[in-house]
Amino acid sequence: MTAVLPSRRLLLKAAGISCTAALLPLSACATSSPAQQKGVTQLRFMQNKPEVVAYFNQVIKDFEALNPDIHVVQDFNEGNFVPSLVRNDPPDVVTRGFAQATADFTRKGVFADLSDLPSAATIDPKVQALVNSWGQYKGETSAIPFSLAGAGVIYNRDIFAQNGVAVPTTWDEFLAACEIFGAAGITPIYGTFKDTWTLQQGAFDYVTGGTVDVEDFFARLYAEGADIREDAPESFSSNFGPALPKILQLTAFTQTGASSKNYADGNAAFGRGQAAMYLQGPWALSELVKANKNIQLGTFPLPATNNPADTKARVNVDMALSITRNTPNRAAAERFVNYLLEPSVVNTFNEKNAAFSPLMNAPAVGNPQISGLAAYVAEGRYYQGAGTYFPPSVPLGNYIQSFVYNRNAGQFLRDLDAEWRRVAERTAV
């Protein structure tokens, strides 16, 4: 009996030691680095659109054939970017959508200056200005636009033709078109209010972008800092009031039960022809075609006033190329960025993805799905959505959803002003 005891103790000891041993690999893997082939520079390329992985795989293959000394690894999980910054090990080349969230990286000097790149000179200055409008680090060019997405009202060309409705050019014409569809028993606009972002990028951004000078408004608001009062001339209360009833007019033309439909529901329903119009950007087009390959789609910018000259398209820099400042592979990264901005690469990409090329000499857009926006984009008659100017810590989509459900404009404006002031207070200190 007693002979068993030492062996048990041994067992316990062994268990303890194996536990400690299990810890060792954890510390060991932190120091090991991927084996590198001699003479080949490895670039990490993080792009922000999981749906275009295949395109970039092809681009990388072509690039590597021309540049055998560089090996590019594609990563499409944008969520890794902030953690990689925290670890101080960011990817070498990054694409990001440019808005408030990215502006903060720029202002903190995360990206290198690209103004000397030869490809930087081929970019349309109007589009470059969109990127720069989010703030610059010591006047540098932190990102070069790669893809410009134009958004408006997606419409079903067949339903428009069957009801004899032309593309509206004024707010009254737009309302009249909605009435015609409603009288014909067709849902004028398909609403997906369950996903708050669809309300934000659709009804909210389109109406405010068409009635308020969004860029100027936010420039003055940011300049004001935390000392913003509700009755100040820079506040939301003083500027957004006239736009809000139009948002409610618009959302009143959606189907009953819009509040329990999400983006995926909307794509399926609109694809099946259950509504005449859909307030979505070009990213929805491929989904709609997936739902119904025979659907004839077009896009027009929402006319938010009765003066057609006021009508503008909503654009966003969907992808902009940056090189991280601390990369040890700066030269290789620059060669890769220059390659990506060659007309054959950048124009093909935008043609395939229903977007607009940022190059000065970009060919005319022939895609009928977005051709209704082409003239506006070419003339620079566009705005970046008001929603994109908000710091991500403001739950704007939820506030808009509340407003659409409760129809309380005063409360909505007071909430926005108060939330803005609180965020400004704590981020300015």
Partner 1 sequence: MTTTSSVGQATPPSTRHTASADSPPVGSPPLRQTRDKVDPTFYWMLIPVLALFAFFITLPALVGVFFSLTNYAGYGDWKFIGLTNYVNIFKDPAVLQSYLFTFFFALTTTVVVNVVSLAIALGLNAKIKWRTGIRTVFFIPMVLSALIVSFVFNYLFSNTLPVLAERFGLTPLASSILANENLAWIAIVLVTVWQAAPGATIIYLAGLQSVPSEVYEAADLDGAGSWRQFTHLTLPLILGYLVINVILGFKGFLGTYEIIVGLTGGGPGMATQSVAMRIFSGFTGGDYSYQMANAVIYFLITLLISVIQLRLIQRRGVSL
Which residues would be at the binding site for partner 1 (CB under 8 A)? 1-2, 4-5, 9, 12-13, 15-17, 19-20, 22-23, 82, 85-86, 101, 104-105, 108-110, 193-194, 196, 256-257, 259-262, 391-393, 395, 398-399, 401-402, 405-406, 418-419, 422-423, 425-427, 429
CB of 372 to partner 1, least distance (A): 32
Nearer to partner 1, 12 or 364 (CB): 12
Nearer to partner 1, 12 or 166 (CB): 12
Give the single-character DSSP code of 360: T
Nearer to partner 1, 125 or 257 (CB): 257
**Contacts of residue 11, Cβ cutoff 8 Å, sequence gap at least 6:** none
- Cβ burial, residue 17 (10 Å; 0-12/13-18/19+): exposed
Helix (H, G, I), strand (E, B) or coil at 170: coil
CB 339 within 8 A of CB 118: no
Nearer to partner 1, 175 or 226 (CB): 226
Nearer to partner 1, 135 or 380 (CB): 135
d(CA 296, CA 159): 9
The token duo for 311 is 């009508």
CB of 281 to partner 1, least distance (A): 21
d(CA 174, CA 165): 10
Nearer to partner 1, 275 or 404 (CB): 404
CB of 325 to partner 1, least distance (A): 12
**Contacts of residue 365, Cβ cutoff 8 Å, sequence gap at least 6:** 351, 356, 371, 374, 377
Residue 39, beta-bridge partner list: none
CB of 13 to partner 1, least distance (A): 5
CB of 187 to partner 1, least distance (A): 16
CB of 7 to partner 1, least distance (A): 11
**Contacts of residue 277, Cβ cutoff 8 Å, sequence gap at least 6:** 153, 154, 155, 156, 178, 188, 189, 190
Residue that the structure tokens 């895609």 belong to: 367
Residue 150, H or E segment: strand 144-156
Q: How far is CA 149 from the centre of its chain?
A: 9
CB 96 within 8 A of CB 102: yes
CB of 388 to partner 1, least distance (A): 14
